[in-house]
Amino acid sequence: MRFAKVAAASTALLLAAACGGGGDEGSGSAGGADPASAPEELTVWVMGSSQDALVSYFDEVEAKYQETYPDTAVNVEFIPWPDAQESINNAMAGGDAPDVLEVGNDQVSNWAAQGALADIGSYVESWDEAADLDQGALEYGRYDGVQYGVPWFSGVRTLYYRADWLREIGMEPPTTWDEVVEVAEAIEKEKDVPGFAAPTDFTNGIASFIWSNGGEIAVQEGDSWQGRLTSPETKEAIEFYAGLSGDDGVSPKAYVGENELVPLADMANSKLGMYIDGGWALGSMEEQAEDKSVLENIASAPLPGAEGNAPAFAGGSALSVFALSENPDHAAELLKLMGGKEFGKKYADAGGFFPAYPELLDDPAYTDDPARAAAAEQMKNTKFFPATPKWNDADLNQKILPAAVLEIVQGEDPDKVLEEANEALTNTLNEPVD
């Protein structure tokens, strides 16, 4: 097995996220392509950096794959997420290219529209384990009716809170909006620090508030998309979220215009009572905590919603076959092996995520682990952003939703702001794909 790192300069940042294949005949083993025509090597691009647990994972993958294709080596190249866009573009232009690649699950439609991904519909249709994948995540791997990616692993955001502080004031972690305010006010009164963080540059968090109130960001109507930022349900949720940072809110002005990285540092250093982030934040908290013992008192709970737990965006990554692969059949078999129940779970565990199979979320390894139980429960209540290549332009480039929330916090008229934002969102989502 060969491992390599690809270094490429890029100013584009892709969201790390998660979806991927499975095993043939429900066994996680390869075997659907002709061994006699197997290539000497298949190349896999994995986004992120090489880690010992991931290297061990791919050693196992190669060994399993070679039970059927003994003469095929698996070459794994780790691509830093910030370099992913340039690396894929270079591959499309005729440079070094993978056979199987990981892309963020919200990037599948973008790369499919640009011709970087192969149609893997026939492979998925004949793959028994596909029926057990998270079907919403599988649907998210389609573009224009064609399957281009399959979920590999998933991750969600939860509510982080200071468990010791809540015990001291005799309160439970909040499950509703009203309780968020109530608990946050109690924390501020007793501990003299902000009780909750509501950063405005935080589409993932804002979306959960919208979804929990029965609202949507946008919906597809036939062949077009329609923004829903002006619906009563969405407007109420946005105004509530913005109000958390208002003059009488519980979230400090320091988080206005910021993303979740700023409250992360405060959470790690006892300067904040609650905030929303993903499981990957724990590693960053450990790096930033001046007093490491604080981490023992940071716990997590499912996201609070309007009247109960809120849906979370099902982040994660997808596995795809590169459009220019010279060995698509054998690449598809490797994809299914990597993302099957056996190896899909192994990769999720190695990376600190969750498998893309709902039935596996009841594993005691997740449900009995205090650090992962809340996220495992949250994984059962997820939603997705609009499955269109233009979503990334609307969110990452234009920041339409975060910008609207910021303007409302700054005192602009919500009706006017959301009307203009909704028009911009609708127009952007319906722009022709280049």
Amino acid at 48: G
Query: CA 183 to CA 180: how far, in whole Å?
Result: 5
Query: pLDDT tens digit string along 291-331?
Result: 999 999 999 999 999 999 999 998 899 999 999 999 999 99
157-308+390-429 matches 2-155+315-383 in CATH topology: yes
Statement: 157-308+390-429 belongs to CATH 3.40.190.10 = yes
Homologous superfamily of 2-155+315-383? Periplasmic binding protein-like II (3.40.190.10)
Averaged pLDDT of the chain: 90
- pLDDT exceeds cutoff 80 at 239: yes
Give whichever of 18-22, 25-29, 207-211 has the largest mean pLDDT. 207-211
The model's confidence at residue 1, banded by pLDDT at 50, 70 and 90, is: low
pLDDT for residue 49: 82
Q: What does residue 223 show for φ and ψ, rounded to 5 degrees?
A: -95, 5
With a threshold of 0.75, does the pTM exceed it? Answer: yes
Mean pLDDT, range 176-204, rounded to an integer: 97
Rg over CA atoms, the chain: 22
- pLDDT exceeds cutoff 90 at 352: no
The model's confidence at residue 17, banded by pLDDT at 50, 70 and 90, is: very low
Q: How far is CA 259 from the centre of its chain?
A: 16
Weakest-pLDDT range from 5-14, 89-98, 142-151, 160-169: 5-14
Q: How far is CA 59 from the centre of its chain?
A: 26
The model's confidence at residue 380, banded by pLDDT at 50, 70 and 90, is: confident
pLDDT for residue 95: 86
Mean pLDDT, range 379-393, rounded to an integer: 90
> pLDDT above 90 covers what percent of the chain?
77
Query: pLDDT tens digit string along 30-67?
Result: 457 999 999 999 999 999 888 888 999 999 999 999 99
pLDDT for residue 18: 32
Query: pLDDT tens digit string along 98-125?
Result: 999 999 998 899 899 999 999 999 999 9
pLDDT for residue 397: 87
Domain limits, the chain: 2-155+315-383, 157-308+390-429
Count CB atoms within 10 A of the CB of residue 314: 27
pLDDT for residue 31: 54
CA distances (Å), origin 115, targets 59, 120, 192: 31, 13, 54
pLDDT for residue 4: 52
Count CB atoms within 10 A of the CB of residue 223: 7
Could you please report the per-residue DSSP string of 378-419?
HTTSEE----STTHHIIIIIS-HHHHHHHHHHTT--HHHHHH
The residues, any chain, with a CB within 8 Å of residue 108's CB and separated by 6 or more, are: 19, 117, 140, 141, 142, 143, 148, 149, 318, 320, 387
Q: Where are the beta strands (DSSP E) in 111-221?
A: 142-143, 146-147, 150-155, 157-162, 218-221
pLDDT for residue 27: 34
- pLDDT exceeds cutoff 90 at 256: yes
